[in-house]
Amino acid sequence: MSRDYDTAASLARIAAACDGAFLGVALAICAARSWFNYFATTSSLHRIRDAPAARISDLRSLLPADPVSDDEGRLVVVRGQVQPLPAVESSLLAPKNRGVFVSQSSGERAVVVQHTETCLYNEWRGIFGWSFDLHALFAKSLKEQRSSSLRTVPFALVEGGQWPHSLHVQVDLDGSAHPIPLTTVYHHLRPVQATPYTFFQAIFGSGFPVALLHEEKILPVGKEITAVGICRTRDGSLEIKSCEELPYFLSDMTKDEIIGELAANSGILFWSGIVLGMVSIGILSYSIIRYDEGTLL
pLDDT > 70 fraction of the chain, expressed in percent and rounded: 66
Most confident of the following: 62-71, 105-114, 197-206, 287-296:
105-114
Would you state the pLDDT for residue 138?
Answer: 43
Cis? peptide before 164, omega within 30° of 0? yes
Most confident of the following: 78-87, 89-98, 252-261, 273-282:
252-261
Per-residue pLDDT averaged across 184-189, rounded?
88
Would you state the pLDDT for residue 70?
Answer: 52
Rounded to whole angstroms, the Cα distance separating 51 from 99 reads: 32
Q: What's 58's DSSP letter?
A: G
Rounded to whole angstroms, the Cα distance separating 279 from 136 reads: 34
Would you state the pLDDT for residue 13?
Answer: 53
71: confidence class by pLDDT, cuts 50, 70, 90? low
- 62: three-class secondary structure by DSSP: helix
Most confident of the following: 14-23, 35-44, 210-219, 232-241:
35-44
- In angstroms, the Cα distances linking 131 to 124, 137, 194, 196, 207 are 7, 13, 19, 19, 8
In this prediction the pTM is: 0.74
Lowest mean pLDDT among 72-86, 97-111, 114-128, 185-199: 114-128
pLDDT tens digits along 265-293: 999 999 999 998 898 888 778 777 776 66
Rounded to whole angstroms, the Cα distance separating 245 from 151 reads: 25
Q: Where does residue 188 rank: exposed (0-12), middle (13-18), buried (19+ CB within 10 A)?
A: exposed
pLDDT tens digits along 142-172: 455 677 888 999 999 988 755 555 678 899 9
Question: What's the whole-number average pLDDT of the chain?
Answer: 77
Query: Higher model confidence: residue 54 or residue 96?
Result: 54
Amino acid identity of 246? L
Rounded to whole angstroms, the Cα distance separating 16 from 115 reads: 52
pLDDT tens digits along 168-181: 889 998 888 899 99
- In angstroms, the Cα distances linking 173 to 79, 104, 240, 259, 274 are 16, 24, 9, 23, 38
